[in-house]
Amino acid sequence: MKTENIARLLEPITVAQAFLAIRVLLRMLRSAGGERITPEEAQHASEDPVTVIVPVLNEYDRLSPCLEGLIAQGKEVAEILVVDGGSSDGTQTLVSMYAQRDCRIQVIDASPVPSEWNGKAWGLQVGLLSARPDTKWILTIDADVRPRPLLVRSLLGRAKRATISALSVATLQEIEGIGEGLLHPSLLTTLVYRFGIPGKASCNVHEVQANGQCFLLQRDVLESCGGFEAAHNSLCEDITLARTLVTNGHPVGFYETGEMVSVKMYADWRDTWRNWPRSLPMRDQFSGFHTLIGWLEIALVQALPLPILLLLALTSKRRNWPTMLNVMLVAMRLGVLSGTARAYRHRPWSYWLSPLCDLPVSMQLGRCALQRRHIWRGRILVRGGKS
């Protein structure tokens, strides 16, 4: 293809890149310099009791580190409700064994899951309805999360100091192998480009971040917004819940916590590729055209600059503004890569090559954003309810 034809083809793309890059850069600048939750915040914690809800489905192989970490929490944790959506692998037996060690642990059978509900959201709602009436806070924890001592008190301390009624945590990620080192950081970066850097509370429905792996909520505020029912058919129930809270006037915080809580989300890169992109588009009843804008930011600002630079290098030696723009975007991508390094406990060497996965990742997220039916643990999930 002639250089002139390539230039004509790239012109509208680079114009869109420039516009979207400004949006992404301003978002990162606004969110820079955020705060982190540290163990020292525990000294500011209120004495309000907390109900921990752990929704599970066939988590026998992953649940033990989570329960060990929850047992290590202090007296602020009044009860630990493990809500089972119909496990067949011995999960309930495992929880019963832990209940003999710590009377705060209870197993609740929430099966069968109603057809119009996302299984996790249903488990959380059942847990909320089953919580002791005197608990003031609800903490949702996923089965693959590994809490450290003082986590809950530190979360309570941050909520009190920031005077917010809801906050969640950007958990420290545990990945293994070359494949995960390539893929996982590319997927994580899509969140940074669309939502910015953790460390603040947000009142904007399209900028709020949340992570249901570790989400602390003031109970009366949660119940005043309908509990978890607002996210009953969402594929990203944590984001939908956060957007519901913000819509009702309640700021939602999102913070890093370093070593205080970690998570091993998926078994390997194949598991990551199949399952994480299901929820990453963040498409729900609140998103509207922002889902499309967010995907375009990923595709044009995160994924395409490197391929465009390679194309320009093969077809032209001239310095022009598309070249300079994409050089700057690649530099920004490398800066984000350096910044997200702290999100991982251990980084395989392939972590530093993860931008090579940006293009297939953007295509996968676009496909999943359009797809309504998904499969999780053998169950069919439909965005927006049954088709």
> Identity (one letter) of the amino acid at 353?
L
Nearest by Cα to 168 from 186, 190, 191, 193: 191
Alpha carbon distance 48, 37 (integer Å): 19
Model pLDDT, residue 387: 42
Summarised one tens digit per residue, pLDDT across range 128-140 is 999 999 999 999 9
Model confidence pTM above 0.85 = yes
Alpha-carbon Rg for the chain, nearest whole angstrom, is: 22
Q: What is the pLDDT of residues 182-193, one digit of tens each?
A: 999 999 999 999
pLDDT in tens, 223-252: 999 999 999 999 899 999 999 999 999 999
Domain residue ranges of the chain, discontinuous segments joined by +: 1-387
Q: List pLDDT tens digits, range 33-76.
A: 999 999 999 998 888 999 999 999 999 999 999 999 999 999 99
Mean pLDDT on 92-116: 94
What secondary structure does DSSP assign to 145-163, as a single string?
Answer: EEE-TTHHHHHHHHHHHHT
3-state secondary structure of 374: strand
Angle, CA of 112, 118 and 120, to the nearest 5°: 80
Asked if pLDDT for residue 213 goes beyond 60, the answer is yes
**What does the pLDDT look like over 129-174, one tens digit per residue?**
999 999 999 999 999 999 999 999 999 999 999 999 999 999 999 9
If phi > 0 it is left, if psi is from -120 to 50 it is alpha, else beta; for residue 58 that is left
**pLDDT at residue 6, rounded to an integer:** 66
Cα separation of the two ends of the chain: 45
Number of other CB atoms surrounding residue 214 within 10 Å: 24
pLDDT, position 382: 63
The rounded mean pLDDT for the chain is 92
How many residues are there in the chain? 387
Let me know if domain 1-387 sits in CATH 3.90.76.10. Answer: no
Q: Give the tokens for residue 293.
A: 């804008």
Task: Assess contact for 260 and 151: CB atoms under 8 A.
Answer: yes
Name the residue among 224, 126, 219, 208 with its Cα closest to residue 168: 208
